[in-house]
């Protein structure tokens, strides 16, 4: 028995798992409909931006009803997991699921997949015969992804950086790298028997003034960690920055450097996709402004040639969107995307050169770390502030990098902390700013910049 299989058997012996059948799960994936694989949809829909909302309800019936609402208008169905499951607290999830079913009140903020089980969930997934994307925010997703794949969910979001630094305060970062290494190996194993399982990194991070160089470095780092374990389909992503120009530049540099660094680790046969998240910051309460923001996001996704867009709704400022809110938003985005044909391609070459240099400079420092494995190099780089995510709650994050917006709403580096960008790159960032020495004015500017869309 391999070490991977031994670990899988230990993980799936959890008391909340109902007799996991390895042979049956593998046979199911082997014979699963191609329509369930987003990797297949990407391959067969070149030039089309697939549309995916967010969404998840605690009970099977409500989740099924959500999918019925979505089915006519979406290309990819979401499966957002509840917070108890994300923290591996399956006991609390079981209790809240039971109460949700008894009272017909949603006492969980997502679908508790572990408690429903893969046999039950598979009935729903295969019924709709549409790719499903697992959205979860789980530091230790080893059990969850086993049950997701056995259910027919063949896209797994997340990673050891993007599901730790934005979401967690104390979860050990080194453990996260090892747990996600296991996830990558399971995904790679299943990818050999049918279409590839698609892995997707979470580009928005904290969704608060994250400079593009940090977003791109983290996306590519998680991609490399996945590809080196044998994954053959990976999606890098980023969120609407608030600047059209910066979005166009980010998309071009991210695509270009993702290929470059995949080749750097010797991987030339993987498919790399680009995913665009509509605005992830504070949403305007004015629904006309919300609609305009959503339309702008759809337009930019088309301009950057995104392989998939993840949508928002006009209800974002008020709470969890209803299934009707979500379906309406998706229909509107589909309409906008279909209307935008023949958009010219252009990019700011000066900005592209600067961003490319910043990413390469950071990666040079990462690869120069004395550790003997890539994950340790990346881990050390986070610990040492070479990778620094603004407004991350995690204790390992340095939080010395400070960013503000310039007059064109581009996110600029105001204080670089330990970010290993060159003097030339930093001077370029500074040249775009017009801030006084008064610290209060910088704080006020940051507050204003966080609420830029309100």
Q: What is the pLDDT of residues 233-252, one digit of tens each?
A: 999 999 999 999 999 999 99
- What is the phi/psi pair of residue 341, to 5°? -120, 145
- Would you say the pTM of this structure is higher than 0.85? yes
Q: What integer is the mean pLDDT of 200-209? A: 98
* Rounded Cα distance, 209 and 453, in Å: 13
CB atoms inside a 10 Å sphere around CB 72:
9
Q: What integer is the mean pLDDT of 90-107? A: 97
* Rounded Cα distance, 156 and 198, in Å: 6
Is the separation of the CB atoms in 114 and 90 below 8 Å?
A: yes
**Does the pLDDT at position 111 exceed 80?**
yes
pLDDT at residue 340, as a whole number: 87
Residue with tokens 């019936």: 61
Strand partners, 412: 404
Residue with tokens 């590519």: 220
Q: What integer is the mean pLDDT of 371-393? A: 98
DSSP 175-215: HHHHHHHHHHHHHHHHTTSSSPPEEE--TTTT-SS--HHHH
Q: What integer is the mean pLDDT of 374-387? A: 98
The number of helix segments (H) and strand segments (E) in the chain equals 18, 10
- Mean of pLDDT over the chain: 95
Residue with tokens 């985005």: 333
**Does the pLDDT at position 227 exceed 80?**
yes
* Rounded Cα distance, 62 and 389, in Å: 36
Is the separation of the CB atoms in 277 and 240 below 8 Å?
A: yes
Token pair for 162: 């993007």
pLDDT at residue 200, as a whole number: 98
pLDDT at residue 380, as a whole number: 98
The candidate with the shortest Cα–Cα distance to 123, out of 63, 72, 170, is 63
CB atoms inside a 10 Å sphere around CB 408:
12
* Rounded Cα distance, 78 and 66, in Å: 10
Residue 257 pLDDT level (bands cut at 50, 70, 90) = very high
* Rounded Cα distance, 202 and 134, in Å: 12
* Rounded Cα distance, 377 and 373, in Å: 6
Q: Which domains does the chain have, with CATH numbers?
A: 3-339 (3.20.20.240)
Residues above pLDDT 70, as percent of the chain: 99
**Three-state secondary structure call for residue 18:** coil
DSSP 372-434: SSHHHHHHHHHHTTSS--TT---TT-----EEEE-TT--EEEEE-TT----HHHHHHHHHT--
Q: In angstroms, what CA-CA distances link 344 with 300, 374, 443?
A: 12, 38, 38
* Rounded Cα distance, 445 and 399, in Å: 18
User: Out of 146, 157, 228, 316, which one is annotated catalytic?
Assistant: 157
pLDDT at residue 225, as a whole number: 98
- DSSP E strands in 203-354: the ranges are 233-239, 271-277, 308-310
Q: What integer is the mean pLDDT of 140-161? A: 98
User: Out of 8, 86, 135, 314, which one is annotated catalytic?
Assistant: 86
Determine whether 86 is an active site residue.
yes
pLDDT at residue 438, as a whole number: 62
Residue 317 pLDDT level (bands cut at 50, 70, 90) = confident
pLDDT at residue 341, as a whole number: 81
- Positive or negative: CA dihedral 352, 270, 22, 151: positive
Q: Which helix (DSSP H) or strand (DSSP E) does residue 402 occupy?
A: strand 402-405
Strand partners, 403: 413
Strand partners, 238: 276
Per-residue pLDDT reduced to its tens digit, 399-439: 999 999 999 999 999 999 999 999 999 999 999 997 766 66
Residues contacting residue 407 through CB under 8 Å, at least 6 positions apart = 434
Q: What is the DSSP letter of 309?
A: E
Give the residue, 437 or 225, on which the prediction is more confident. 225
Is the separation of the CB atoms in 74 and 330 below 8 Å?
A: yes
């Amino acid at each position: 028995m391999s070490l991977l299989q031994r670990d899988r058997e230990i993980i799936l012996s959890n008391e909340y798992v109902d007799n996991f059948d390895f042979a049956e799960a593998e046979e199911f994936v082997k014979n699963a409909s191609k329509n369930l694989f987003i990797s297949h949809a990407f391959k067969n829909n070149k030039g089309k931006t697939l549309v995916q909302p967010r969404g998840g309800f605690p009970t099977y019936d409500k989740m099924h009803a959500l999918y019925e609402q979505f089915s006519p208008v979406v290309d990819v169905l979401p499966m957002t997991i509840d917070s108890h499951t994300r923290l591996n607290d399956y006991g609390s999830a079981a209790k809240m699921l039971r109460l949700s079913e008894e009272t017909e009140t949603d006492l969980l903020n997502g679908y508790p997949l572990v408690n429903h089980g893969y046999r039950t969930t598979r009935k729903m997934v295969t019924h709709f015969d549409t790719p499903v994307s697992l959205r979860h925010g789980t530091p230790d997703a080893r059990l969850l992804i086993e049950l997701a794949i056995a259910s027919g969910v063949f896209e797994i979001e997340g990673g050891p950086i993007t599901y730790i630094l934005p979401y967690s305060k104390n979860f050990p970062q080194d453990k996260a790298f090892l747990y996600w290494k296991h996830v990558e190996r399971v995904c790679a194993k299943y990818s050999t028997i049918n279409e590839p399982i698609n892995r997707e990194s979470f580009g928005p991070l904290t969704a608060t003034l994250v400079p593009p160089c940090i977003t791109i470095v983290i996306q590519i780092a998680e991609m490399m960690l996945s590809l080196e374990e044998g994954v053959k389909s990976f999606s890098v992503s980023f969120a609407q920055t608030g600047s059209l120009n910066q979005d166009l530049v980010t998309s071009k540099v991210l695509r270009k450097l993702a290929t470059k660094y995949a080749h750097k680790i010797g991987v030339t046969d993987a498919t790399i996709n680009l995913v665009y998240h509509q605005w992830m910051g504070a949403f305007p309460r004015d629904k006309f402004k919300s609609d305009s923001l959503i339309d702008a996001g759809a337009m930019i996704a088309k301009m950057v040639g995104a392989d998939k867009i993840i949508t928002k709704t006009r209800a974002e400022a008020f709470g969890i969107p209803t299934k009707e809110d979500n379906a309406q938003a998706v229909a509107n985005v589909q309409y906008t995307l279909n209307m935008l044909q023949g958009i010219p391609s252009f990019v700011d070459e000066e900005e592209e050169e600067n961003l490319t240099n910043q990413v390469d400079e950071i990666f040079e420092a990462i690869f120069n770390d004395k550790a003997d494995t890539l994950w340790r190099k990346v881990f050390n780089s986070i610990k040492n502030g070479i990778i620094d995510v603004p407004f991350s709650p995690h204790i390992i994050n340095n939080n010395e990098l400070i960013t503000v917006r310039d007059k064109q709403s581009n996110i600029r580096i105001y204080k670089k902390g330990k970010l290993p960008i060159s003097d030339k790159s930093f001077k370029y960032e500074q040249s775009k700013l017009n801030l006084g020495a008064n610290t209060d004015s910088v704080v006020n500017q940051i507050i204003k910049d966080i609420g830029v869309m309100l």
